[in-house]
Structures are given as structure tokens and as C-alpha cells.
Amino acid sequence: MIQPITYESIGVIHTPFKEQASTPIQGVFAPDSKGEVEVFPQYIDGLKDIAGFSHLILIYHFHLAEGYSLITRPFLDNESKGIFSIRHFNRPNPIGISVVRLDNVKGNILKIGEVDIIDGTPLLDIKPYMPDFDVRHNVKKGWYEDARNRRDYERGKGVQPDL
């Protein structure tokens, strides 16, 4: 039998986005968005050498998620998809990931850009974005390729999210 999994937050993410409907669906759609990552004091030593990176991968808990459905409509398309083929926040395990730009480090505060995270989100982990490891070539994009080609994939431009 698999034992329950428990994580503790290592910090909190602060952004100007107070509700899901106004939060960008991906940071690349909001290059000017700003925020802060507040790392709790007991984890500050883990920030050593982080300032040398331009981008970070934030792993966090979708604290406002409300249950889940295995089939739901993504923000970037008009047709329902399987939850594991989309990045919707209502998931069996409400874990989110975002690649953000690291603008500045001051003590336990990371100033970030290209933010797509709602204010008050509990932070689970930080990893450096490493293009040598994280970028793949010749990838297949599934249903997203058709949505992208239709140009209706940005919030407010043809596809309204189900919240």
C-alpha cells in the first residue's frame, strides 16, 4: 500500500493577481507581469547561487482548486480534454509548475517576472531552469498545435476559461 504523501510549503508566492479569472494562463502571455517569491527564513541557505540563473521553475500547490474532473476544457481550446493532457488547476493532485524570469534576489525575496500564478500560492519547491536539460527539440504538441494555429488560444481572444 502506498503511504500518504505530505509536503510543507517552503514559501509563498505574491502577485497582483487576486482571482483566477484575471491570472494569466501562461507566463509567456504576460511577459511584463511581476511578482515575488518569499522563501521562509529556515530555507534561505538553499538560495545560495540562485542569482546566477535567469529563469526558475516554481512548483506550487493550487490552493484555490476545487475538486477535479478527469475531462475538462482547457483555457486554450474549445473542446474538453483529459486532465493529464492539459495544465488546468483542478487536478487529482493540485500541483502547478511555472517557468518564471528571475529579476533580482534580496535576502529571502526573489523578484520574478513572466508570472502566471495567483497571489498567496504556497510554494513547494524551486528548481533552476536549465536549457541544456529542460528544452527538447522535435516535440509533438498534441491538441495544442491546432488551438495555436487557430489563434484563439489567448485568454479573452475567443476562448473563455471555465472557472
Cβ atoms of 43 and 72 within 8 Å: the answer is no
Residue entry with cell 514559501: 11
pTM for the full model? 0.85
Domain count, the chain: 1
- Provide the residue range defining the domain that includes 18: 11-150
Nearest CA-CA partner of 119 in 26, 21, 12: 12
Residue 160 lies in a domain: no
Residue type, position 111, single letter: K
Side-chain-side CA neighbours of residue 121 (13 Å): 32
Residue 17 lies in a domain: yes
Q: What is the CATH number of the domain that holds 119?
A: 2.40.30.70
Does 87 map to a domain? yes
Q: Grid coordinates 518564471 are at which residue?
A: 100
Structural domain contains residue 114: yes
The single-letter code of the amino acid at 30 is: A
Residue 110 near residue 37 (C-beta atoms within 8 A): yes
For 76-111, how does the pLDDT look when each residue is reduced to its tens digit (9 = 90+)? 788 899 999 988 899 999 999 999 999 999 999 999
Residue 157: inside a domain = no
Query: Is residue 3 in a domain?
Result: no
Dump pLDDT digits (tens) for 76-85: 788 899 999 9
